[in-house]
Chain A
C-alpha cells in the first residue's frame, strides 16, 4: 500500500538538514504506530521517499513524502496519529492513498516554486532585473568531470523557469527542480548579493519553497502539491 503526504516544514525545523529531517520523520512514524514496510536484506530500510532536499534555512510550505505500508491504515488515522508525534515545525497537511503502479515522486518533479522575501533596505528587485538581463549567469561550483571532483562553471540562467515580483521585496521564482536538473536558489542569490555589493548579508532573506510542479507531455506545468481535492486534509495553517 503506497501513501503520499504533503507536509509543512518550518519553525526551528528549518535548521534541521534533509537527512536529519528524514530520520525525525521516520521515528515519528514509528511512534505513531504506522506499519511502515521495510526493505529486505542485511540493512532493512523503511520504504520512504521525499521530493528534492530542501536547503537549510528554507521553509517548506508543501513538501512531498511517499511511503509504503506493510498493512493498510486509514489516511485520516495516519494524519491524526503522525501529527500527534511530530515536533513543532513539522506538520502533515494531507494524506492520500496512491493507486499502483505509480511513478515515484522524485521522477515527477520538474520545477519548484520559491517565495523569497528580501530585507526592505536592499534594492533586490532592481538588481535582480539587472542580473537576469545578462545573457548568462555563470557560477563556479564543485562538481565532477569524468568522475573527478573539481571546480566547474555552470550557466544557471536556463534553470530559471520564470519569475515575478509580488511586491518590490518579494520574489516568486520558478526554478528547475527534481532529479535531473535542480537550481538551488541560494546559488542565484549569491550572485545577486555580490552584484548588490553586500555578499555578507546573504541569509538575511527568508526563503520558502511553496509548491512543486510536474510537466505534462505538452510541456504545461501542473501542481503536484495541490491538495484541494484530497479527502483527508488538516485544517491547520502555518
Chain B
C-alpha cells in the first residue's frame, strides 16, 4: 500500500526533493507482476547516497530481471525523521511510496562503519523488528552487502543474510529461489537455509560462535573467539565472495537516475576498472576488490556516449581505484575530450607528470585544478612499510612541473598512527610540505603563480579486516592526538595549511571495523541513545557513544589496542575474499622488514585470488619467466 505524504509536511523540511522520488530514469513496475520486491537502502541522506555508483549498478541490474522490482530508500534527515515519528509515517520507498516493512527484501549497502546506527534507525522507522531473531514471515528479509559486509559480525544480530561480493553475480539466482520457495508456501527460516547454499551468501543465524573461557591477554574480561562453525548442514564452513569474471560481459547503467537535488558529486560516472594492483598494506579496497579487471576502451567509449546522451550531464568522472593503471588512459581521455569538448572530465588519483598536467588542464577546460598527492607516510621508510609506491622525488618533480605551469594549489594526504611510525616520520610530513614550498620559490617569479597554497591533511590510520594490518594494534586516542599536535607545531611555513580532525571517531571506526558479534549490542545501545549520522561531524554524539561503550562493557583495548597473535581466530575468518590469510600474514611480516611488494602487473605475489577467479590482471600477458614463477 503506498502512503501519502502531506504537502505541508514536505514544505516544513529542508530539501524536500530528497523525499519525492520520480527522478528521470527511475523505474516503476506493476506490483502484481513482481515476485521479488526489493528496497535498496543507503544508510545516509539522499544527497550522499545518490552519488554511489553501486546503487545505480544494482538498481538497474535488478530491475532488468523479470519479476524483480528494485526501489530506493535513504535515511531521512533529522528534521524529516522528527515529523515522520510525530505524524506516525513509516519510512517509505521513493518509487512507489511503499513502507519498508511491506517489501520482500530490504537491502542495505555497507560503505562505512559510521553508518551502522542509521541502519537500525531506518529499520525502526520502516517498522521492521530490529533483531533478525524477532522477525516473522510477515517481515521482509534484511540483506546487506558492500565492502564492509566482509566483516558482517557487528551487524549479525540485525541482518538476515549478507551478500559477499559483486551484486551482478548472484541476485537473479537468489530471487529465483525465493520465487520457487514462496510458490511452495515456504517460510523465512527455510528460505534462509536455501539461501545459505547460494555462493556468496552468509546467513549469520546458521553459525555458532564460541569463546575461550578466559579473557584475552591483557584484557579485563573479554575472551577471544575460539571457533565459528555452521550450526546447520546447509551452511558452508567458509563463505567466499562472488565476482564478475568478465567486465565487458556485464551491463553498465548508462541511464542512471538523475537527481533533481544537487548531490555531493553531481555528474556522470564511468567505471573504467575494478580492483587495484598496488597492494598498499593499509588499504581495505585494494584487497577486497581483487583482482584488477578492466573494462575495454571500446566499451568505455561506447558507454560514455550513452551515459552522456542519456543524462545530459556536462561533467564526467572516470572512476577506479588508481587511474594511471588503466592501459591507454591518456588515449582514452583524448578521445573523450575530442568528442565532448563541453564536458568537464575528472578522474581520481592521477599521477602528476608533464603529460598528465597538460591533459588535466585540457580536460578541465583551462582551469588549474587542485593537485592532490596521497603520500600517506612522511618518510620513504614508512612508505615502504605500508607498500605505498610513491617516492619523494616523484612528488617533488611533479610539483616542480606544476608550479612552472602556474598551478598554485597542492594538497597532500597522510595518515597518522601507521604501524612503526616514529616522531621522525611525523616530522617528515612537515619537511615534505616545506620542501614543496621551497620548490615554488625556486621557480622564477615570472613563471610561477602569484602565491601558493599547500594543504596538508591527515587522517588517522585505522586497521581494517582483510588487510595485512588486520592483526596490528591501533593507536590510542592520546597517542593519535599527540602526533597531531606535534605535526601542527612542526609545520612552520605560512604557505602550508594543516587540516585534521579529532581522533575519537577513528577509535570508534576501528572498533566497529574489527568488531564481532558482541559489538552488535554496542551499536544498538548507541542508537537507543539517539546516535545517527555519526559520520557527520555536527551530528556525532561522542558522549552517547562513550556511555554506550561503558554500559555494554565493551572493552576498547580488546578490539583496538591489542596486537593479535598469528593463531587467533579472527571474527571474519569464516568469510573469504579470495586473498589468503597466509598472504596477508606474509605481507604483515614484510611490512616490519620494510620490504616492498611489487604490484600485480610487475610480478604476481601469489595472493590467492587466482584460486577463486583466474581473470583480469592475473591472466594478462607476461614474460615466460614470470609465467613460470606464477605457475610455481
Contacts and interface: CB of A to CB of B under 8 A. Distances in A.
Interface of A: 11-17, 19-21, 23-24, 26-31, 38, 42, 44, 56-57, 85, 87-89, 201-204, 206
Given A20-B17, A27-B313, A42-B367, A87 B7 contact: no
Interface stretch (B49-57, B116-124, B256-264): B256-264
A89 B295 CA distance: 37
Contact of A20 (B7, B21, B262, B366): B262
Interface of B: 7-8, 10-12, 16-17, 19-24, 258, 260-262, 266, 309-314, 342, 365-367
A28 B23 contact: no
13 contacts: A20-B17, A20-B262, A24-B24, A24-B260, A28-B24, A31-B310, A42-B366, A56-B16, A57-B7, A87-B260, A89-B22, A201-B8, A203-B7
Contact of B261 (A20, A28, A31, A44): A20
B11 A56 contact: yes
A58 to B, nearest CB: 10
A23 to B, nearest CB: 7
Contact of B311 (A31, A38, A88, A89): A31
B258 A12 contact: no
B12 A203 contact: yes
A23 B259 CA distance: 10
Q: What 8 A-B pairs come out closest when comparing CB atoms?
A: A27-B312, A30-B312, A15-B16, A203-B8, A203-B11, A31-B312, A12-B20, A16-B260
A90 to B, nearest CB: 10
A19 B262 contact: yes
Contact of A87 (B19, B24, B309): B24
A17 B17 contact: yes
B262 A38 contact: no
Nearest to B311: A27
Given A42-B366, A203-B11, A203-B12, A30 B314 contact: yes
Contacts of A85: 24, 312
Given A26-B312, A203-B11, A16 B24 contact: no
B269 to A, nearest CB: 15
Contacts of B266: 23
Most buried by B among A15, A27, A85: A15
B386 to A, nearest CB: 38
A113 to B, nearest CB: 21
Given A23-B260, A42-B365, 12 more contacts: A15-B19, A16-B17, A17-B17, A19-B262, A21-B260, A42-B367, A44-B365, A87-B22, A87-B260, A201-B8, A203-B12, A204-B8
A38 B7 contact: no
Given A56-B16, A87-B22, A87-B24, A15 B311 contact: no
B22 A12 contact: yes
Given A15-B16, A20-B261, A31-B310, A88 B8 contact: no
B262 A23 contact: yes
Contacts of B367: 42
Contacts of A42: 365-367
Nearest to A12: B20
Nearest to B25: A87
A157 to B, nearest CB: 25
Contacts of A44: 342, 365
A31 B312 CA distance: 5
Nearest to A32: B312
A15 B365 contact: no
Contact of A15 (B20, B24, B342): B20
A20 B260 contact: yes
Contacts of B342: 38, 44
A35 to B, nearest CB: 11
Contacts of A30: 312-314
A27 B342 CA distance: 13
Nearest to B313: A27
B46 to A, nearest CB: 12
Contacts of B19: 15
Contacts of B309: 31
